[in-house]
């Protein structure tokens, strides 16, 4: 029987099982479903597998709790960086540490705490893609798609489409996001036929030009306490609507993430990476 050492980790409450696999071959999709089960497994939003890379320092695979594979994960990549740096994998003190993902190679910068371990990680999330085709959205609307109308059970919702290497549909509301029926509207949008690859869903309330609050329905997972790529997409959407400036703090149920985007080029994300415990599966 194969034994898999792992760390349980989280980034602003978005939690993961993280493990390294250079030689081990297992059915990762099945393992993700089993190990992420909160009743019969470890419990997590996703499984992160650290692999060797020929074009970067490490390669990341991120599998959702339903076994589907995501292109990228902003909170997950911060956890991966802490995992490899704190255990001295590869070139641990190199900044930037370059991570290969299905969304491309991303640069990360780790900040060490007083105990010498990684406390926060800054991630270059890449340049947002605004063409609906980048999300697999079946629409004739031109980029940027700021107000794509969706009919859900007779109610019209308008979403802004942003790809951060993975698809996002962003809704803005005037009410506190805690009052928004995300458990109903989130899955309805995720599985809406306009999205050929399904989509992540963010509901956002803008407080001022430097602060937003938001909740996220993640494709293949459900509602999570935080989503790094979702926060990036929300800030991009808000700036496209001229609701925020270059620097924004996004308040999510699991914590606060800091983001910067000047309307061009890459979005940067800064947030915590926390080890909860380590064990074996």
Catalytic: which of 36, 73, 79, 173? Answer: 73
**Residue 132: count of CB within 10 angstroms of its CB:** 22
The CA distances from residue 232 to 32, 133, 259, in Å, are: 25, 19, 7
Q: Where are the beta strands (DSSP E) in the chain?
A: 5-11, 14-20, 46-51, 58-64, 69-70, 97-101, 104-112, 118-124, 148-152, 155-163, 167-172, 200-208, 211-218, 222-224, 247-252, 255-260, 268-272, 274-280
State the distance between the two ends of the chain, measured CA to CA, in whole angstroms: 10
State the helix-helix crossing angle for 228-240 and 74-86, rounded to 10 degrees.
Answer: 140
227 a catalytic residue: yes
In angstroms, the CA 267 to CA 258 distance is 11
Active site residue 73: yes
Residue 239 CA: distances (Å) to CA of 24, 100, 178, 267, 268: 44, 28, 22, 12, 14
Residues acting as catalytic residues: 73, 227
């Amino acid at each position: 029987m194969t034994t898999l050492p792992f760390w349980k980790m989280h980034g602003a409450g978005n939690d993961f099982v993280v493990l390294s696999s250079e030689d081990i071959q297992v059915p990762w999709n099945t393992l993700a479903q089993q190990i992420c089960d909160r009743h019969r497994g470890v419990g997590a939003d996703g499984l992160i597998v650290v692999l060797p890379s020929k074009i970067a320092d490490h390669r990341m695979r991120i599998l959702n709790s339903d076994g589907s594979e995501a292109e990228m994960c902003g909170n997950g990549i911060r956890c991966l960086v802490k995992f490899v740096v704190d255990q001295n994998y590869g070139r641990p003190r190199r900044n930037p540490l370059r991570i290969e993902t299905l969304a491309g190679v991303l640069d990360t910068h780790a900040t060490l705490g007083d105990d010498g371990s990684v406390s926060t990680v800054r991630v270059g999330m890449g340049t947002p893609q605004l063409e609906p085709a980048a999300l697999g959205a079946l629409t004739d609307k031109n980029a940027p798609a700021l107000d794509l109308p969706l009919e859900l059970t007779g109610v019209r919702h308008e979403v802004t489409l942003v790809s951060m290497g993975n698809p996002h549909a962003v809704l803005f509301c005037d009410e506190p996001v805690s009052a928004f029926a995300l458990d109903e509207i989130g899955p309805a949008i995720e599985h809406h036929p306009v999205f050929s690859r399904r989509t992540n869903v963010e509901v956002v309330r803008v407080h001022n030009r430097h602060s937003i609050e938001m909740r996220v329905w993640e494709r293949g997972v459900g509602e999570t306490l935080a989503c790094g790529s979702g926060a990036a997409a929300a800030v991009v959407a808000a700036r496209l609507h001229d609701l925020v400036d270059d620097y924004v703090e996004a308040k999510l149920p699991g914590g606060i993430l800091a983001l910067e985007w000047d309307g061009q080029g890459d979005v940067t994300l800064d947030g915590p990476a926390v080890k909860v415990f380590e064990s074996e599966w």
